[in-house]
Amino acid sequence: MRARIHLVLGFGLVGLLVSVILVSFVWLPYDPLAIDLDHTLAPPSLMHWFGTDEFGRDVASRAMLGARISSFIALQTVVITIVAGTLFGLIAGFLRGWTERLVMTVSDALLAFPGILLALALIAVIGQSRHSIVIALGIAYLPSVIRVVRAATLSIREREFIEASRASGDGALYTMWRHVLPNVLPPVLILATSLFGWVVLSESALSFLGVGVPAPIPTWGNMLSSARPYMASASWLSIAPGLCIVATLLGINMLGDALRDRLDPREAN
């Protein structure tokens, strides 16, 4: 019963996000980049659903465009991290020996870094752009994917069908590809949903520290951080992007829960 509610809510919210993104390709209430210095900091109205920002730009249009940019950044990061993390985690968990020690030492070293700091330093080196954010956050979250994949590989590695496959003469690579990888996917898929959330949150944190996606391209993160000085005088500026983040992440989390119920036997009674 619970799984169904999570599924419905999850699909609802994610569906809303996807439709907003699709619409943003075709139509936006206003040009998100056009400034109007005579109507700065206008409160929400029929003309401007979420009001205007400090440059008179329409917050609603920027939130819609921001949805597309933030989601694409998160998607790209998740794909890169999952692919690289699975590769390394698989090798570490299956081959063990010095490869495992090498991969785990490097990943522990990266994990010892506070994620946001590592990203900040990497962005400062590569320069601020959407791609640098994707690379920086990718590296920052790589260790957590490696950890999950290695743990899953270790438990699968002990299963008898792996021994059967090796006994029938399959090579290590073939066994990893044919038998271990498909069984590692469920936990990785569940991790991917929470990873999407973490990346959106991290991008907004980086914007807050001044190194997020550069202006004037809107992301929820940089809209939220540029709203900080006007907390008292124009509070709606921070409400709109905040709500978008919460709605999207709630939807993604719910989907993650539903996925976990279906894939993870423990949850089903």
Partner 1 sequence: MTEPLLEIRGLRIVADASGTVLLRELDLTLGRGERLAIVGESGSGKTMATRAIPGLLAAGVHRDVGSIRFDGRELTGLSGGDLRRIRGAGIGMVFQEPMTSLNPALSIGRQLAEGLKLHRGLSDEEIERRSIDMLRRVRIADPEGCLKRFPHEFSGGMRQRIMLASVLMLEPKLLIADEPTTALDTLSQREVLELMVALTRETGTALLLITHDLGLVAQYTDRVLVLEKGVMVEEGRTAEVLARPQHPYTARLIGSLPRPDGTRSAVSKDDNVVLSIKAAVIEYQGARGLLRSSLAKRVIDGVDLMVREGEIVALVGASGSGKTTLGRAALGLQPLASGTVRFEGDDIATMSRSRRSAFRRDAQLVFQDPFSSLAPHLRIGEIVGAALRHIPKMTAAERRARVAEVLGEVGLPGYEARRPHQMSGGQRQRVAIARAIASEPRLVVADEPVSALDLTIQHQVIELLRRLQRERGFACLFITHDLAVVEQVADRVVVLEQGRVIEEGQTAAVFAAPRRDYTRELLAASPALAINELASA
Partner 2 sequence: MRKAILALVILLAVTVAWLLPSQREPVVETGTVLRARINADIASSEPGTKRDANTDAVMMHLVEGLVAAREDGTAGPMLASSWTVSPDGRTYRFKLRRGVRFHNGVPLTSADVVWSFHRYLAPGSEWRCKPDLSPGGIAPVVSIKPDGAYGVTIILAHAAPLFLTELARIDCAGTGIIQRQSVGPDGRWRYPVGTGPFRWGSWHHNQYIELLRYKNYRSLPGPPDGNGGGKRALVERVRFMDIPDDAAASAALLRGSVDVLDGLAPEVLANVSGATGIKFTSSPSLDFYCILFQGRDRLLADPRLRRAIALSLDVAALTRVATHGTATPDSSPVPAASPYYGAVERPLVRQNLAEARALARAAGYRGEPIELITSHSPPEMYDDAIIIQAMAREAGINLKIATLDWASQLARYSNGDYQAMVFGFSARLDPSLSFGLLAGDKAQDPRKTWNSPAAIAMLRQSIATADPKARQEIFDRLDQLFRSDAPAVILYNTRRITAMRSTVQGFRSWPAETQRLWNVSLGGKP
Partner 3 sequence: MLGYATKRLLLAIPTLFLVALIVFFLVRLIPGDPAQVMLGEGASQQAIAALHAQLGLDKPVPVQFVSWLGRALTGDLGTSSITGQPVGALILSRFQVTAIVVLVSIALATLIAIIAGMIAAWRQHSQIDLAVLGAASFILAIPSFWLGLLLLLLFGVTLHWLPVVGYVPFSESPSAAILFLILPITTLTISETGVLTRMMRSSAIDVLRLDYVTHARAKGLPERTVLARHVFPNAFAPTMTLVGLTLGRCFGGIAVIETVFTLPGLGRLMVDSVLARDYPVVQGCLLFVAALYVLVNLVVDLLYPLFDPRVGLS
Give residue 197's Cα distance to chain centre: 4
Give the CA dihedral 253, 258, 263, 265, nearest 10 degrees: 110
Instruction: Tell me which of 26, 37, 46, 125 binds partner 3, using CB under 8 A.
Output: 125
Rounded CA separation 251/257 (Å): 10
102 belongs to the binding site for partner 2 (CB under 8 A): no
26 belongs to the binding site for partner 2 (CB under 8 A): no
Rounded CA separation 170/86 (Å): 21
**Whether 178 contacts 170, CB under 8 Å:** yes
CA end-to-end span of the chain, whole Å?
Answer: 11
Q: Which of residues 158-197 bind partner 3 (CB under 8 A)?
A: 194, 197
Instruction: Tell me which of 122, 136, 146, 156 binds partner 3, using CB under 8 A.
Output: 122
Q: What is the DSSP letter of 211?
A: -
Q: Which is nearer to partner 1, 16 or 151 (CB)?
A: 151
109 belongs to the binding site for partner 3 (CB under 8 A): yes
User: Which stretches within the chain are classed as H helix?
Assistant: 2-26, 59-95, 97-112, 115-126, 130-157, 160-167, 172-175, 181-208, 220-226, 236-263
Rounded least distance, CB 225 to partner 3, Å: 8
Q: Which residues contact 211 (CB under 8 A, 6 or more apart)?
A: 119, 120, 123, 124, 128
Q: Which is nearer to partner 1, 167 or 232 (CB)?
A: 167
242 belongs to the binding site for partner 3 (CB under 8 A): yes
**Whether 134 contacts 83, CB under 8 Å:** no
40 belongs to the binding site for partner 2 (CB under 8 A): yes
Rounded least distance, CB 215 to partner 2, Å: 5
The item of partner 2, partner 1, partner 3, none sharing an interface with residue 159, based on CB under 5 to 8 Å by kind, is partner 1
34 belongs to the binding site for partner 2 (CB under 8 A): yes
Cα angle value 16/19/25 (rounded, 5°)? 145
Q: Which of residues 215-244 bind partner 2 (CB under 8 A)?
A: 215-216, 229-230, 232-233
Instruction: Tell me which of 139, 142, 211, 254 binds partner 2, using CB under 8 A.
Output: 211
**C-alpha torsion sign, points 205, 230, 59, 34:** negative
Q: Which residues bind partner 3 (CB under 8 A)?
A: 1-2, 5, 105-106, 108-117, 120-122, 124-125, 194, 197, 201, 204-205, 208-210, 224, 228, 231-232, 235, 238, 242, 245-250, 252-254, 257, 266-267, 269
Q: Which residues bind partner 2 (CB under 8 A)?
A: 33-35, 37, 40, 54-55, 124, 127-128, 210-211, 214-216, 229-230, 232-233
